[in-house]
Chain A
């Protein structure tokens, strides 16, 4: 007897995963860009927060390829200023969690020079490890 598997993907769509993890409604965003205007880490991002949300709105699964969530400093400024009440830091966190669940860490002790490692305060190291490792 032959069992034929369905051809459809069993993966949960990215937007749904993110919405469940961050408990925010992505569709609420009207793309004013306020989150991006005030983002202190914007200059180092490859896609601004509003662009990541736009990609999620369109259901683009490759949104996880951007480095921005790993550049986000979780400063909460975007969340405070969002006119639609979207907690944008939670959206970034959800994107990080999705990335980490794929098994890839974005920082590790081996990625930092020894000399710097000894100079960095534990508060910075632990915080970054918490955000960027699974």
Chain B
């Protein structure tokens, strides 16, 4: 109440002075109670303007300042720095917005100046009552949990570890690699996918700062930016990782044959298996779901008998680990709409209707056909293939409204690789529009069209009819305006990309937002694409939305750089204008807990407790508290009431 207040009024060139009588305003301000000094300047935000404020603070021994100028969103930081350097606590600065809220929107009559004066009065009343506040300093755990062991997770983990910080890389499956490991060759360069991914997998697995958790899931996230506690649940592998030499002697011993997930069911594996030859870690996994030993009783131990290093342990149990981390990167990847979604294309009843990822496995040298394109039903080489694009994408009615972004390109690649493998084979690509927006992409499609002469037919396929061991494709050429019916040996659907299973549960646990399609939401679609809406949690790759490999790697590198930016500080400095609980008044009703949008309030021993790093000072808890025990610092009741009174008179 006894603060010595200085008022500084900005002309903002003519922006304010055109409609507000600055001299009259200055005179009125000078006469207000508590005001020791009032002065105007052409541009207060300029260096001389700031210098003026600093000098007056010293001369007049001011301990609070009102700047009457533009919106506080523009120059709060500028003026806080100015007053702080002159020895005034930065939270004793008030800004009266006489530009956006007055001079720009009023005609320049006496009432315009009158309103500006009211705004200044209100600011002065607040300034007279301000208390010094100190920023909150929070320690920082310089370690990261990266969830998802595909190329996005691997890239983020490597970038962070290379900068010297420990990383826990958590992968749900038995091995790293993700979707990229399933691919044959990559567009538009036709690089072999595993040839470029394997070195990264090896690098991350050997990095001294990276701890890899495979067959592991994050089941709980506590804490906040800088100090998360992440609970990792480890499923048993039933193979002792340190013992397994990767010799593979267990595999022929196992009597149980199971469709292989890695090959999308096109190939078989045993109940003890390794999904692909370049797998990292190169440790076998015993899939107990398909093992003969369902209960505690061991009725088959042929794998254990065959294992010379005695690495099989039927008694392994799930375990849990609590990891401290300053940041989390979510890189949980994507899935595709299942074939069973497409009832007009026969559900998943026709073996020769497959999806793009299955075709990748058929093309892959380590795939079920060793890279020879053979159709699933009779293992013959298909003499004709129809590719159906936009299967579930751009289909708001029955599928997903969005474009899956990668299908045009991988379909062109599929057609090219098939054409090279089976030169006399016929290819029909049914498409709606070709979207080839990346670097070198249009040129690639052009090559497929013009040089390889692949048949692009513009029109969506309505139905597939199995007929004499072939599939009749009902299409249309909308450019000709004619229906098209072709019989082919194999149909490949470019199925829509969808978020991976379990993303909703993880989003709930980590308290991050997901969008209407189930992808993780970024903080801002343009300007903050790698940050989630929860501070300290970053997004990498297709978990945030469909994208190709190069965009995924860039996204992951962006997430890593955000983490490194966070870790470059010694400690986190948080705004002090956050909620504070008056413990003497709090009755522990927990109503504030339920209204807080940031989950920042919890009840400890019957009293509300505010997590200082989660609270954003929004004030939602203040009106919710029946006991008036809770409110943001720097916005005390007496200050706000005085401001309102000043506006009203």
Contacts and interface: CB of A to CB of B under 8 A. Distances in A.
A37 B483 contact: yes
Contacts of A98: none
A36 B344 contact: no
B398 interface: yes
B475 A32 contact: no
**A contacts with B: majority SS:** loop
Contacts of A48: 476, 478, 481-483
Contacts of B476: 33-34, 36-37, 42, 48, 50
Interface string B507-540: 0000000000000000000000000000000000
Contact of B481 (A34, A39, A47): A47
B481 A51 contact: yes
Contacts of B398: 83
Contacts of B390: 32, 83
Interface stretch (B120-128, B295-303, B349-357, B455-463): B455-463
A83 B344 CA distance: 12
Given A39-B483, A48-B483, A83-B394, A33 B478 contact: yes
Nearest to A46: B481
Contacts of A43: 483
A8 B11 CA distance: 57
B474 interface: yes
A90 to B, nearest CB: 15
B396 interface: yes
B462 A81 contact: yes
Interface in B347-399: 390, 394-399
Residue picked from A30, A32, A77, most chain B C-beta under 10 Å: A32
A57 interface: no
Interface string A7-37: 0000000000000000000000011111111
Nearest to A39: B483
Contacts of A85: 396-397
B460 A33 contact: yes
A38 B478 contact: no
B432 interface: yes
Nearest to A82: B397
Contact of A83 (B397, B459, B477, B481): B397
B483 A42 contact: yes
A84 interface: yes
Nearest to A28: B396
Interface string A39-68: 100110001101100000000000000000
B395 A36 contact: no
A92 B398 CA distance: 22
Nearest to A85: B397
B83 to A, nearest CB: 57
A84 B396 contact: yes
Contacts of A77: 462
Interface residues of B, number: 24
Contact of B459 (A37, A47, A81, A84): A37
B394 A33 contact: no
Contacts, number: 73
A14 to B, nearest CB: 19
Residue picked from B395, B398, B477, B478, most chain A C-beta under 10 Å: B478
Contact of A34 (B460, B482, B484): B460
B478 A50 contact: yes
A81 B392 CA distance: 12
A83 to B, nearest CB: 4
Interface in B477-491: 477-478, 481-484
A115 B477 CA distance: 40
A83 B462 contact: no
B456 to A, nearest CB: 13
A122 to B, nearest CB: 31
B273 to A, nearest CB: 39
A91 to B, nearest CB: 15
Given A37-B476, A38-B474, A50-B476, A32 B397 contact: no
Contacts of A81: 344, 462-463
A53 to B, nearest CB: 11
A83 B398 CA distance: 6
B483 A36 contact: yes
Contacts of A50: 476, 478
B353 to A, nearest CB: 16
B397 A33 contact: no
A36 B481 CA distance: 9
B176 to A, nearest CB: 36
Contacts of A38: 344, 462-463, 474
Interface string B2-41: 0000000000000000000000000000000000000000
19 contacts: A30-B394, A30-B432, A32-B394, A32-B432, A32-B460, A33-B460, A33-B478, A34-B476, A36-B483, A37-B460, A37-B463, A37-B474, A37-B476, A37-B484, A47-B481, A48-B476, A48-B482, A82-B397, A83-B396
Given A38-B463, A48-B476, 13 more contacts: A31-B432, A32-B460, A33-B432, A33-B460, A33-B477, A36-B478, A37-B462, A42-B483, A47-B481, A51-B481, A83-B396, A84-B396, A85-B397
Interface of B: 344, 390, 394-399, 432, 458-463, 474-478, 481-484
- Counting from the closest, the 5 A-B pairs by CB-CB distance are A38-B462, A37-B462, A33-B459, A83-B395, A32-B460
